[in-house]
Amino acid sequence: MTDQRLPVRRALLSVSDKTDVVAFARQLADRNIELLSTGGTYRLLSDNGIPVTEVSQHTGFPEIMDGRVKTLHPKIHGGILGRRGQDDAVMAEHDIAPIDMVVVNLYPFRETILKEGCTLGEAVENIDIGGPTMVRSCAKNHAWTSIVVSHHDYNDIIAELDTCQGAVSDDFRYRLAVKAFEHTAGYDAAIATYLSQQIEDDGFPATWTTQYDKKQSMRYGENPHQKAAFYIDPHASEPSISTARQLQGKALSFNNVADTDAALECVKSFDVPACVIVKHANPCGVATSQTSLLDAYERAFATDSESAFGGIIAFNRSLDADTARAIVERQFVEVIIAPSISTEAQDIVAAKANVRLLECGEWSGTTLSGDVDFKRVKGGLLVQDLDQGMVEKEELVVVTERAPSDAELADLLFAWRVAKFVKSNAIVYASDQRTVGVGAGQMSRVNSARIAGIKAEHAGLEVKGSVMASDAFFPFRDGIDNAAAAGIKAVIQPGGSMRDQEVIDAANEAGIAMVFTGMRHFRH
Ligand SMILES: NC(=O)c1ncn([C@@H]2O[C@H](COP(=O)(O)O)[C@@H](O)[C@H]2O)c1NC=O
């Protein structure tokens, strides 16, 4: 790319979101740039004493059809699209003045369709036509023109103009053009998706065109020979790994992001102070505490201190100094994430410069409806609603002769919340609001239970008297027979097997209390 710096003599401003546009326009005018503007933007600028010409005066053609046609005129598009040096004669012949910069943001289509009770008519009226047309004209002609689609770029534009004595460099114009095409692609994707959803019976659009923005390049992917980058939903607002702020430590790796997501989403399930330690996308130690976050961490760590080495730790309360100290003194940790981090905790973790410390903000407890989950398959994409289901205590159905005690019921619900985040087949043993053993990702549920038992033994924890959660139903009674032999006192599972009665009989024979959730949580 050559380093050609082209002066900006005339700019057109037409913005729906008028944030900072007055100050920006004033800075352009102060740099002797002539301003053109559409109705609403023109009124705002002129009311603020900024010298500006209305587009309709410039074209000699009024804005018509309630603004459906305002800038769709050859004097505007010729001014933007004309190739300087090549189209000068035709521009002069038709009295077309060059427009070197276009500042546009579009009708708020996405915000409109999110409004309660939005009609198809309202949505359609909020499809911007003239705006994207100018954006595309200007972005196409980036060899000579600058397209600005976000108020977040205003300061950078002014800095560029000042650096280049009133001009904009090739590289800068090119980057603006890329951003502009990304912007119109995202805008059109939102329109196409919304319109398609109106006629698709299952509510999923006929074509999947969601847009994600690159947040960071990564050194490598799941394995060192794979290249990778982290993309995020630019409209995501709920605190998550995607919106989290890294306060210190090495750059997040591909696996760090996946594991931190698993840990954070699991810890969000608990109302009381909780700690979730994840290894390879599975919770290996989870605990809550009625007293402190430190207590929750100590208890979570103790349930599988071996696996916790190099783990990812998530909290649902602000990370305090005592908890931070306990972690860095005790174990090698890859990532710590919490809604907020106290200054003292930050100072303590700073002693371990490589530890990635992330702050994600407080969450409200609700995930936005419409949130989806993807799974990539060769040549395709599986899309589903995010698993936001969680059974309430009152919805549990006791199916055995013995009903669980209050303490058992509390532990069953705890174990169930954890099981939802364990890869299938998932078996979770728990007691006193902490995991005792977790069996994850086995092809047989019985083997998951065996592994949960082995984990408990390694951690020196007693399975006897614990409860058990199973993410899906038991197809045979052997799962319950084995649980009884291990000393399990109560079981939570979805139910729904054709052999449920055999399974219930097995529980009754062993004096086990069992509840059905009626909802399964496979996680593949
Ligand atoms: N129809 C047109 O020719 C047209 N030209 C620009 N717009 C949009 O009108 C809005 C600004 O309008 P105003 O300056 O009147 O507030 C911008 O979002 C811009 O993208 C248009 N509106 C919709 O298509």
Name the nearest CA neighbour of 463 among 494, 441, 442, 432: 432
Pocket test residue of 107, 124, 188 for ligand 1, highest count of atoms within 8 A of CB: 107
Q: Is 80 in the pocket of ligand 1 (CB under 6 A)?
A: no
Task: Compute the distance from residue 196 Cα to the ligand 1 centre, in Å.
Answer: 25
Name the nearest CA neighbour of 161 among 53, 42, 29, 50: 29
pLDDT > 70 in the chain, percent: 98
Pocket test residue of 12, 37, 38, 77 for ligand 1, highest count of atoms within 8 A of CB: 38
Q: In sequence order, which residues have a C-beta less than 8 Å from that of residue 406 and are 6 or more positions away?
A: none
Kindly provide the ipTM of the predicted complex, given to two decimals.
0.97
pLDDT band at 237, cuts 50/70/90? confident
Task: Compute the distance from residue 229 Cα to the ligand 1 centre, in Å.
Answer: 35
Annotated catalytic residues are 140, 280
DSSP symbol at 319? B
pLDDT at 306: 87
Q: Is 46 in the pocket of ligand 1 (CB under 6 A)?
A: no
Residues 375-426: tens digit of each pLDDT: 999 999 999 999 999 999 999 999 999 999 999 999 999 999 999 999 999 9
Judge contact between 218 and 228, C-beta under 8 A. Answer: yes
CA dihedral angle for residue 155, residue 161, residue 164, residue 167, rounded to 10 degrees: 140
DSSP symbol at 361? -
Judge contact between 497 and 479, C-beta under 8 A. Answer: no
**In this model, does residue 367 exceed pLDDT 60?**
no
Q: Is 16 in the pocket of ligand 1 (CB under 6 A)?
A: yes
Q: Ligand 1, residue 38: give the atom nearest the CA.
A: 14
Q: Ligand 1, residue 129: give the atom nearest the CA.
A: 24
**In this model, does residue 368 exceed pLDDT 90?**
no
Alpha helices in 141-253 (DSSP H): 154-163, 170-197
Q: In sequence order, which residues have a C-beta less than 8 Å from that of residue 404 and are 6 or more positions away?
A: 398, 412, 467, 490, 513, 515
pLDDT at 42: 98
**In this model, does residue 89 exceed pLDDT 70?**
yes
Task: Compute the distance from residue 120 Cα to the ligand 1 centre, in Å.
Answer: 20
Please compute the mean of the pLDDT values over residues 513-524 and round it to a whole number.
95
Alpha helices in 62-166 (DSSP H): 74-81, 88-93, 109-114, 120-125, 130-140, 154-163
Q: Is 228 in the pocket of ligand 1 (CB under 6 A)?
A: no
pLDDT band at 2, cuts 50/70/90? low
Q: Whose CA is nearest to atom 16 of ligand 1?
A: 40
Judge contact between 319 and 338, C-beta under 8 A. Answer: yes
Task: Compute the distance from residue 452 Cα to the ligand 1 centre, in Å.
Answer: 62
**In this model, does residue 186 exceed pLDDT 80?**
yes
Pocket test residue of 37, 103, 128, 187 for ligand 1, highest count of atoms within 8 A of CB: 128
Task: Compute the distance from residue 370 Cα to the ligand 1 centre, in Å.
Answer: 29
pTM: 0.91
Taken as a whole, the chain contains a residue count of: 524
Task: Compute the distance from residue 67 Cα to the ligand 1 centre, in Å.
Answer: 7
pLDDT at 221: 97
Q: Is 68 in the pocket of ligand 1 (CB under 6 A)?
A: yes
Listing from the earlier edge strand, what are the strands of the sheet with 101-105? 53-54, 34-37, 10-15, 101-105, 146-148
pLDDT > 90 in the chain, percent: 93
Structure tokens belonging to residue 285: 């130690």
Q: Is 15 in the pocket of ligand 1 (CB under 6 A)?
A: yes
pLDDT band at 39, cuts 50/70/90? very high
Q: Using CB atoms within 10 A of its CB, is residue 358 exposed (0-12), middle (13-18) or buried (19+)? A: buried
Three-state SS annotation for 181-193: HHHHHHHHHHHHH
Q: Is 131 in the pocket of ligand 1 (CB under 6 A)?
A: yes
d(CA 426, CA 478): 16
Task: Compute the distance from residue 412 Cα to the ligand 1 centre, in Å.
Answer: 57
Q: Is 510 in the pocket of ligand 1 (CB under 6 A)?
A: no
3-state secondary structure of 265: helix
**In this model, does residue 366 exceed pLDDT 70?**
no
Average pLDDT, whole number, for the chain? 95
DSSP symbol at 379? T
Q: Whose CA is nearest to atom 20 of ligand 1?
A: 131
Angle at which helices 445-458 and 478-486 cross, to 10°? 10
Q: C-alpha distances in angstroms, 287 versus 11, 264, 313, 330, 435?
A: 59, 14, 12, 17, 6
Q: Is 149 in the pocket of ligand 1 (CB under 6 A)?
A: no
Name the nearest CA neighbour of 257 among 270, 240, 275, 235: 240
pLDDT band at 168, cuts 50/70/90? very high
Q: Is 419 in the pocket of ligand 1 (CB under 6 A)?
A: no
Which helix (H) or strand (E) segment is 385 a member of?
strand 380-385
Alpha helices in 338-491 (DSSP H): 343-349, 406-419, 445-458, 478-486
Task: Compute the distance from residue 33 Cα to the ligand 1 centre, in Å.
Answer: 21
pLDDT band at 369, cuts 50/70/90? low
Q: Is 70 in the pocket of ligand 1 (CB under 6 A)?
A: yes
Q: Whose CA is nearest to atom 8 of ligand 1?
A: 131
Q: Whose CA is nearest to atom 2 of ligand 1?
A: 130
pLDDT at 145: 97
